[in-house]
Structure 1
Amino acid sequence: MTEKDAPLARLVAGCRTQLEHDLCELFEEMGPSLTQAATESGNAGRDRARNIAAAALVQALPTHWDKVSAALKANLAARAVHVARSEFDSADQANLRLLSAAEESVQFAMREVLDRVTLACRDETKPLDRRINYLVLRRVMQPGDKTFNLAALWSCIEAACAELTTDTGALILLLQLVGEQMATEMPQLYRVVNETMIEADILPSLKRSYRDTTPVDPNEVAEESSKLASTLERLVQARTKETAAKETSKPGTISQELFNSLKTLQAAATPQAPGKHTNVVRMVRDSGAARNVMPLEAVTLDIVVKLFDLIFSDPNVGDGIKALVARLQTPVLRAAMLNQRFFADRGHPARRFLDSISIVAVRWGKVVNAEDPFYLKLSELVDKVQSTYDGDLAAFDAANAELDAFLTEREEHDEQQNRALADAVLAREEEMRLKREGEIRAQQMADACIARIVEPETPPEIEEFLRTYWRDVVQNRISQSGEEGAPTAEAMQVATDLLWSVTPKHLAEERQRQAAGVPTLLSRINTGFDEIGAAPTERKAFLDTLLDLQLAAMRAKKAGARMGSSTSRTRGGGPTLQVSHATDLGIRVQDISLPTSEGLDRENTPDRADLRRVRQLVRGDWVDFTTARQTRRERLNWINRSRTLFLFSNSASPCAISITPEALAVRLRNGTAQIVKIDRPIFERAIHGAIRSLDQHA
């Protein structure tokens, strides 16, 4: 290896160290969850041998799991990473022997477990294998190097687990339970290795797109499609028997009366209150227009009715997305009636368009920004499909093509903007570090200023706003002009006026003063929101709440009872997260860090498991940040080389977030941040749920 290859050697060594460290740390924490899983397995199983094995594990795990963790560390340290096949010598051959029946049972069970973990990791291990075999890396990795080989790592895990028990049944069950957890955790460990190599420019073309959803296995898709098709056939047969029909209708023989009824009802449907959406397909199915449909059409109607019921009642789908979906009821039913392949084939043009809505919706979470260009584009395409689809799938093909082109253009735009923003943040990283130290005093002063004016009877929504959003405004102004400066005094006057505005008004003069002062107060609050880059959805949510409280005050009513202890965290005895604001490239950047002071209380000390979850984040991951009960979803777009600073942004928000891993871990711990787990597309979930529900009642 030449001196030129030293950086790559350090890269590989660093990835190996990180992978093994996270794996060992994960194992140290698995004991309690494995004990619970073994208990559940024993309670649920009818197999006596398995129940005995589960009982043995429940007894051994709490006291002896440390031995397994220590053994895994030793196995990883001792494994020979430079052994190639050509080095398989006679000494190894001399150790070959026939396996006992018990050992064969363990080996057979382990092959099944390893296959499952391998399948779960395939989307990360495949590109990693290509990178390892890449010419540049081959210079610094010896032939036969099994540093990142999953089977080699699993051998270390298997040998470590054997330290817990010698009972064959208990060992098999233990490895199966470990395999279940590894199928979830191991892909995350490999993701970090891949991301590190992408950052080092090792085959960066293999990086994932932010438009990707959950990994899809073609074999799994084919199997699911086959199951769906057979279930549909069974439902149709049951309906045929139920109605004593001689034959089912052929695809495409839709009752025109049915469609005319549907179009009329959907056109006449009045806008619903937020969270309320009319299932027009249900109304059509229950009407006289559906009385003469054949069994196949009747089953299709039932599925689509249930499908929209599930979507409209799904708490994880934002109201804005439900509103889009509601406008697609006629096209969806027509597509399903014309071709039952719609249910079983994810490649169907209508299914691809519907699934694309889910892919785009990931960027908003439950709070949809109706002004965001992505939402406006989806709304435009939904209108086109609704008005042009007459059974010809070209309407969906055109919508798919237009949406793909739009997403590609926006992705390139966002990538350029994020790269420029990351460069700007990187250039001032040292300045930010020094600024953090100075901001500690400014934040403490801002906290003290807010604490002086908050009273016990202050409505909880207002107190949360003052201790979060407005605290940042006051802190920002203290940093710029000092605690005695005019901007700081103005910010505190706004806070005082805000508190007065939600105090019950018993006199006419007070109500007149309230009415006259509200426009100025709202203007100054919005100015503060501008200073800290609050998102439009956050502003609207607070201002709507404020309006309700002010109207109650005008009627001389007291605010509702104080809600729980949700604000207690911001008033805890220990230091809080440090927050400051700056502007780069016209974008507000909120910098969040953890004080480097001694004596952090438990609330502000990062949890080891949360820190590991943060280390496993890669570019493209989404995190929900919550402030004063308002949630903003941001995408991780940049990580510095030392992984000490993460940059989150979202084109739907005017403010980016730079945050240290420790600070993000604290926010995960106290519930003000949550890593988003990408679920299956909305329509896929609903279709499976609808068909499963109908099949159970058939």
Structure 2
Amino acid sequence: MPSGLHPDADHLHPTDDLPDHHSLAAQIRAIFETGFGQLLQDLFSRIDDELFKLADRADNSGLQTLYFDAMRQIRRDQAGMRSRCLREILEAEERFWNPADTPSAQPEDSGNPGLTLLENDVLEIELAVTHAAQKANLLFQDTLGPFELRLAALKGLQGPPLPPHPFTPEALAHAFAASLTGQPVDIRVTLLILKLFDRHVLCQMGTTYRQMNQLLADHGVLPDASLVFKAKTSTMPEQHRPSSAAHVREDDSAEQLSDLLHLLDLWKRQAGNDASQTDGQHFDPGEVVGALSLLQQSASALASGEWRPGAPIPRLKQSLVEQLTGFCPDGELRRLGRFEEDVIDMVSMIFDFILEDRNLPDPVKALIARLQIPVVKVAIIERSFLAKKTHPLRALLNALAQAGVGLEPDDRKDRIVLKKIEEVVYRILTEFDEDTRIFAELLEDFSAFIEGERKGVKAMEERTRQAAISQERLALAKRAAAVEITARIEKRPLPPALVSLLLNAWKDVLVIAHLRREKDSTDWDEALAIMDRLIDWADAHDAEPRRADAGTGEPEAIRAARERLENIAFDPGQLHAFFKDLELWHLSRGNLGPTPAPANATVEPCEIEDILIEGMEDAQPAAQSAPAIDESFVEQARNLCAGDWVEFCDGPALPFRAKLLLKSRFTSRYVFVNRRGMKLREIGLHELASGLAANTIRLIAGANEPLLDRALNAVVDTLACSTEQSDASATS
């Protein structure tokens, strides 16, 4: 049997017992021409269909003409474009095997009237080509690496660095881009065609690459090439490593991803699903991504909200395998690669968590659930996704979920936000193929929308907050006034007329003075002093009922009280009645005979209590009649912070969600608002704790934590807990 190369070899050497490289080169060329040629032919049918659709949907005649003209131009020259593309690749292949015998290729005049590309257009095309090639390198790295080593060994290369072979994704992409040169089409059409080439040719090259690689392996060319490839990629200089390796190492996410998948592997083994079974041929990542794209197209055609609570979600892995199996020739058995299968399982567990998450309203769950296929695609294309918190798709999913936490689907303004979420989901399903840059664009657009909406919300929240603070300050002022008046009424008996004045008029003076304390503290002290002088004056009149201040005919205390009441615009009619009562009281004290008591001169103790309770209740609800509550629920209520969400289920109406806007440290009142900042409920500490205990008020824990972080943490906890339980059972 041919020996090939040892896995630990430092250099690649030719071997005497390898078959003639010319024969194998011809077979490789034939496989390539068949596979690539068929994909290229199918591509032009897709280009024609896509340009027709764009022309049909164009919103102006100029754009429609542009697409129709491009369609006709491509139809006329598609045979020449295919020929030029293949010829450039195969001439490069000839130079690869016989560099000394092949003259340098000269650019050929296509004979078509061309347009001079602007510098920006050239850059756009180069970026599109580079991105497509990098993605294909990542998708097919497990096949392309060994294939490159085997070609070098077959050619008789003495050592690194390895020359680029003619079938690299870069070579194919540049050859196709060169075949477009000279086509008088708009840059938008050129970029569209390159995108279609990326999607329907480069990303479908997995079968062709695998067949070429397998041909060399079957003929004994470097049988252990996969091992050599792994050894060399781990020791080669940074600049020579595959772009995918550098990508995975970003932010140390490769190690985190490895730990995550290792935990999943342990869980699978304990569940009887041994992930280490890797026998047989695998579908290439590019084929998997292509099949996912087809499934995604089917999903995008479904009406939004297809999933309903309690309904089973479709099993993606089963649908994907069925789709892939349909591509296989009769009798060929292949399975998902281990990484692809692990990614699908991990993403499925994440979406299971999302669909069970109480934080999200059902319509939002239904929309986010439709993004499972795009998430799987991104996790395969960019292997750092699951472990990289800053990935644009993760940030976008978190933003969609956060915007949906407090949505009420029946609310007209909330439906606008729900519609925006639906628009983002629809664009992902219809526009995302393999270019992940779309997520950064969507994230920027959605963030701008939410920020615009948030400005109005912040303004409403501030108005609600100020109103609540004002109400609280008023309640505190009423309480303070009630406390001061009660202390004086209970201290000594007072004339009924004076009690009536204090309870019905002077309490307003005290409330207003208390509200002004921050600006003028003397106002409160002066109001209390006048009340005390008024009470002292009343006591003094028991002995000398008719004595008045000299020159005024009215005692100083009465005059000061009258001025304060007039300054707060107290009702003149009531003010006259109060002082009339005092005058009658004076007369009754001075006459020996009885004087009829005024109508409001006598105030019963129960009336005093009722008037004072008004001020006390506004500030602090009486707790003596409240049933005993478990202290843990009281502590839970105390620990609630501004921004936390709860769900109220204590009324005949449907449950509704509310966010804590303000928690008073003075009165223990909690103010809850809806998503737009409008006040929904204001309750006290004990009422909140009682609702938590009775489960009529439910905390929405983690509503402000990013969705993907919570989902991944929950999945990790599930896997780790299951593993620990299994280990404990095994050792017991």
- TM-score bucket of the superposed structures, by smaller chain: 0.3 to 0.5
TM score, norm. by length of structure 2:
0.37
Specify the structure having the higher radius of gyration (Cα): 2
TM score, norm. by length of structure 1:
0.39
